[in-house]
Chain A
Amino acid sequence: MANKNITLVEVEKAVQVIMDTAFENEDYFSELDGLAGDGDFGNSLATGFQVIREQWDTLPRTNINAFLMKVAMLTTSHVGGSSGPIWGTAFMRAAIYSREKDDLNLTDIVNIFDSAIEGIMQRGGAQPGDKTLIDALIPTRNALAQVKSDAPDCWKRALKTASEAATQSIEDTKNLQAKRGRQCFTGERSIGTVDPGIVAVATIMNNMNKAFTQ
């Protein structure tokens, strides 16, 4: 990829990576969710993304916006519980940001993270430190922002540092008490267990790193 801008081709691939991560880790994510949540997270994600996989060939590909908007709609409607609107909001914010853009540079991706994080906080009411996927997305965003979008190999460097930051967020949040999201109903029992949403973001970022740089 060197440092050229990404187009619909890479956006499609990124969505594919997110979906595949959910399929490959369905049982693992649900198992994590069962420790201090209701145990359906992996299954909710996989079931919803399965609908996208079934419709993959017919998704609109006129531009990034149209593609991501359809992904957002399907995610929101078919991923169960509040995960649908939460993850759907991330895709929707990316879609809205990409209006009238044929390609995206690294700064655009950072801006998309900002917009997605803001949207998810608004949708679900979570704040940083509540032990939700927000606490993985913010360090990921900050790591991406450290790399200049005109630097040589910017994507490779950004994906490496972002996947490391996302992975680190699992340990960094482990001893927090969940105030929102998947674990919030278990109160103090959530302390010491990892949040499945945070693990999911970290796993996705690691798979992005592999998919785009190797």
Chain B
Amino acid sequence: MNKFFNDPNNFVPEMCEGLVMANPDTLKYVPEYNMIYRSDMPSNDKVAIVQGSGSGHEPAHIMAVGKGMLDAACPGNVFAAPPVDFCYECIKRMNGPKGVLYIVNNYQGDKMAWQMAEEMALAEGINVKGIMVDDDVSVKDSTHTIGRRGVAGNFFVIKAVGAASEQGADLDALVKLGNKVNSLVRTMGVALTSCTPPAKGSPIFQISDGEMEMGVGIHGEPGRRRDKMKAADEIIEELFNAVADDLPFQSGDRVALMVNGLGGTPISELYILYRKAAEMAKARGLTIIKNYVNEYCTSLEMAGASLTLLKLDDELEALLNAPAEIPIRVF
């Protein structure tokens, strides 16, 4: 296991410490709850947007904390849901007069923790509501889910509600908006290698050289099938069609297209995938208004990628274009 860590049990805390040290003016850290939050929160002027799931998917979610995106995140250990007290404290500490919105990807552990925290916070009179993301078209029920999994489409939900919250939208409007984005976003991924959580010390699943897991989940959960490795164009074609046929996306639609790296695939390869995806979008009559080629939701060092399509309207386009400042911006 060639990885940068000290004590594997301190993997998440030391990542959080590094993140706040690199962003001393904008981020703060509560070590007891792995909680990273905007230094100008809580606020009287906006609904707080929070999220927490397993670590290992960075930049999701702690590196998506910043103006116009998340106000706080409270991850659990690598690939483990945050304990309920993390979620509860995160809600409580971010609460202001306009309330708190939590975003949860559809995994049983995450959902249970957040829904319990919601009940506890509601009992204290905190105005809190949640939205669920389940954009992965690969499989219906899977290892950690009843229903579809929530994966990279989560980024668009965060971006839209984050921007709307900055503009003063109230909690109910944000719930409606978040559900709308989730209803219009679809994703599917493919893994070329496995990955190794530091505390586990061994790969989460086995895959041989020359094989790929089509439709993989972001914790290495099985997808649609194990297949022989193919040419890039063939692979992205299958991802694109699975995603585009699901909503379905139709000729004339305006879209945002994301090619997301799963952690171990170089950006050069992601652009090779984008090239074919953009061609396919054009052939289908889709207009790509915005594109995203980078890492947004990863599985540690897993080689692989996912493709996400979001159907846009004027409202969503404006929200995607609204300013945001988070640690992973590159310039």
Contacts and interface: CB of A to CB of B under 8 A. Distances in A.
Q: Do A and B interact?
A: yes
Contacts of B120: 69, 72, 92, 96
Contacts of B88: 73
B133 to A, nearest CB: 19
Given A85-B84, A99-B123, A76 B146 contact: no
B116 A85 contact: yes
B108 A82 contact: yes
Interface residues of B, number: 13
Contacts of A89: 116
A13 interface: no
A82 B144 CA distance: 11
B85 A77 contact: yes
B84 A96 contact: no
A61 interface: no
A123 interface: yes
Contacts, number: 39
B119 interface: yes
B119 A73 contact: no
Interface string A73-89: 10011000010010011
Nearest to B108: A82
Interface residues on A, range: 10 to 19
A139 interface: no
B123 to A, nearest CB: 4
Contacts of B123: 96, 99
Interface string B265-301: 0000000000000000000000000000000000000
A96 B119 contact: yes
Given A82-B108, A99-B123, A123 B83 contact: no
Contact of B115 (A72, A93, A123): A123
Interface string A111-149: 000000001001101000000000000000000000000
Contacts of B41: none
- The B interface, classified by DSSP as helix, strand, loop or mixed, is helix
B112 interface: yes
B113 interface: yes
Q: Is the interface of A mostly helix, strand, loop or mixed?
A: helix
B280 to A, nearest CB: 38
Given A96-B119, A99-B123, A85 B146 contact: no
B63 to A, nearest CB: 25
B83 A82 contact: no
A204 B79 CA distance: 34
A122 B123 CA distance: 17
A86 to B, nearest CB: 8
Nearest to A122: B115
Contacts of A73: 83-85, 88
Contact of B112 (A72, A82, A99): A82
B119 A76 contact: no
Contacts of A122: 115
A200 B115 CA distance: 25
A18 to B, nearest CB: 18
A77 B112 CA distance: 11
Interface string B61-100: 0000000000000000000000111001000000000000
B281 to A, nearest CB: 38
A77 B108 contact: no
B146 A125 contact: yes
Contacts of A125: 146
Contacts of A99: 123
B114 to A, nearest CB: 11
Given A119-B119, A125-B146, A85 B85 contact: no
A60 to B, nearest CB: 13
Contacts of B146: 125
A53 B225 CA distance: 46
A52 B114 CA distance: 22
B108 A76 contact: no
Given A76-B116, A85-B84, A92-B120, 17 more contacts: A72-B84, A72-B116, A72-B120, A73-B88, A76-B83, A76-B84, A77-B83, A77-B84, A77-B85, A82-B112, A85-B116, A88-B84, A92-B116, A93-B119, A99-B123, A122-B115, A123-B112
10 contacts: A72-B116, A76-B84, A76-B112, A77-B83, A77-B85, A88-B116, A89-B116, A92-B120, A93-B119, A96-B123
Q: Which 4 A-B pairs have the closest CB atoms?
A: A77-B83, A85-B112, A96-B123, A76-B84
Interface of A: 69, 72-73, 76-77, 82, 85, 88-89, 92-93, 96, 99, 119, 122-123, 125
